Amino acid sequence: MSERPRLTVLSGPSGVGKSTVVAHMRKQFPEVWLSVSATTRHPRPGERDGVQYHFVDNEQFDKLVANGELLEWAVFAGNRYGTPRQAVVDKLDKGEPVLLEIDLQGARQVKESMPEAQLVFLAPPSWDELVRRLAGRGTESQDVIDERLAAARIELAAEAEFDTTLVNTSVEQVAAELLALLGVA
């Protein structure tokens, strides 16, 4: 039997394109399993429960935390996000590569509880491009955009904590590099 695959964590500032890269990668290799996070955030237009996120209320989230059912969790922009632990462990035990797309705080928690995890930082081509992407979404208020930009400055400063950095100049290129890191391409 081959050795157990490493858990791969993709992180980076809000607006850097993590979801876009992962969606492109999974079109090419749908067998790459992406953990679906739980969140107290309300769904955005087009999002479905169990697909983009498991949408839960605060009471349900409190129970997940209290029962140790989350591998990591964080508060971001006034909402809580967390990774259900058991699904990740089950996939790794079956020899399947697992990808987590999470924030810096979560990546640090995963590294603490699973030191063998591979941390990948997705960086923007420039600060100006990150600002343009965040403002261009059109889904959030200026206050939320400002909060995300303040968080992005902190997240960018943490790049050295990661094993690998990928710069998102091309979704196709970054997706290919990520697949290679996962060992599936």
- Domains held by the chain: number: 1
For residue 95, tell me if it sits in a domain: yes
- Which pLDDT score is estimated for 1? 38
- Which pLDDT score is estimated for 97? 85
Q: Which stretches of the chain are DSSP H helices? A: 18-28, 58-66, 85-93, 104-113, 127-136, 142-157, 171-182
- Which pLDDT score is estimated for 2? 46
Domain hosting residue 171, numbered range? 7-182
- What 8-state DSSP symbol labels residue 115? T
Q: What is the pLDDT along the chain (185 residues), one digit of tens a residue?
A: 345 568 999 999 988 999 899 999 988 888 888 889 999 999 999 999 998 899 999 999 999 999 999 999 988 778 999 999 999 999 999 988 899 998 888 899 999 988 999 999 999 999 998 888 888 767 778 888 888 889 889 999 999 999 999 999 999 999 999 999 988 76
Distance separating alpha carbons of residues 42 and 109, to the nearest angstrom: 24
CATH number at residue 123: 3.40.50.300
For residue 80, tell me if it sits in a domain: yes
